[in-house]
Amino acid sequence: MSVPQPIPYQGSKRRIARHILRFFPGEFDTLIEPFAGSAAVSLAAAHARKARRFHLNDINQPLMALWREIIHDPAGIADAYEKLWREQTGRERAFYDFVRDRFNATQRPDYFLYLLARCVKASVRYNAQGEFNQSPDNRRKGRQPESMRRDIEAASRLLRGTAALTSRDYGAVLGGASPGDLVYMDPPYQGVSGFKDPRYYSGVDFDRFAGELARLNERGVPFLLSYDGHKAGSRYGRALPAGLNLHKVEIEAGRSSQATLLGRNEITYESLYLSGALVERLGNSLVV
């Protein structure tokens, strides 16, 4: 059985999650994901039995409400998704717009799951009023209800009874982490939100984030961080401060789709940073 991925989500770490797990210590209390999104790393860790307890957090409240349904009422959310998916038949475009309006009025998790399954690049976009305004991908009908149900049920089995769910700013979650835990962070990429100021990326202030990492170091909380300063173009990219004493590893993320189109065989890499406390815990087992 492969790792379930019930929530389609742009920027999901699903493809490289198993490589990230290689840098987990053998024993720790709780795996904390302050920027959980579709929680690809927690799901992979639960599947590989690399973590026993989880804390999933994301500032996006409807997303965390959807996680709550997936984990605690898998049959209910799978039924609701199937109903929406079948109701769209023959009027997919108009039905998408209808569900988007209903979601903006109610924030219901089943509407959100349907929108994520059908919108362009599974990418969450909001207008200035905070309304979901992403367009549908008219070439896709959204994931088949049967396979969606399988992944929902499998994710529920992996996380029920072991995962705490919150929807807060990441800083509050980091404040509760202790040296016995392991934190995995995948903050939103720089540049993607259209902020022109390089200190910001999608609402996360760079200097404040660097300060939060320094505090984790001071408290000896081990962490891993996915961060590609160059990803959105050098105009926005900022290197992490050297004083954070992070150990960088490059993870092979497969072939770039752009290179494949051009007939080249370019392998792409993603950067992962390990904190000093984590490197110490890994000791001789850290072979890179």
Among 181, 186, 212, 270, binds ligand SAM (CB under 6 A): 186
The interface mask with ligand SAM, positions 47-76, x = CB under 6 A, is -----------xxx----------------
Which tokens sit at 111?
Answer: 């509407």
Q: Using the rule CB under 6 A, is 209 a contact of ligand SAM?
A: no
Residue nearest to ligand SAM as judged by C-beta position: 37
Q: In one letter, which amino acid is 230?
A: H
Q: Which is nearer to ligand SAM, 99 or 225 (CB)?
A: 225
Beta strands in the chain (DSSP E): 30-33, 53-57, 163-166, 182-185, 200-201, 204-205, 223-226, 247-255, 267-274
Q: Which is nearer to ligand SAM, 58 or 110 (CB)?
A: 58
Q: Using the rule CB under 6 A, is 80 a contact of ligand SAM?
A: no
Q: Which is nearer to ligand SAM, 59 or 66 (CB)?
A: 59
Q: Using the rule CB under 6 A, is 110 a contact of ligand SAM?
A: no
Q: How far apart are CA 16 and CA 72, in angstroms?
A: 27
Among 123, 193, 202, 271, binds ligand SAM (CB under 6 A): 202
DSSP state of 161: T
| Secondary structure of residue 119 in the 3-state scheme | strand
Q: How far apart are CA 253 and CA 244, in angstroms?
A: 25
Among 71, 115, 204, 274, binds ligand SAM (CB under 6 A): 204
The interface mask with ligand SAM, positions 16-35, x = CB under 6 A, is ------------------xx
The interface mask with ligand SAM, positions 115-134, x = CB under 6 A, is --------------------
Q: Using the rule CB under 6 A, is 9 a contact of ligand SAM?
A: yes
| Secondary structure of residue 168 in the 3-state scheme | coil
Cα dihedral: 61, 64, 65, 70 (round 10): 160
Q: Using the rule CB under 6 A, is 6 a contact of ligand SAM?
A: no
Q: Using the rule CB under 6 A, is 225 a contact of ligand SAM?
A: no
User: C-alpha angle with apex 105: 101 to 109, nearest 5 degrees?
Assistant: 90
Decide if 182 contacts 224 (C-beta within 8 A): yes
Rg, C-alpha atoms of the chain: 19
Q: How far apart are CA 186 and CA 195, in angstroms?
A: 18
Contact footprint for ligand SAM (CB under 6 A): 9, 11-13, 34-35, 37-38, 40, 58-60, 169-170, 186-188, 202-204
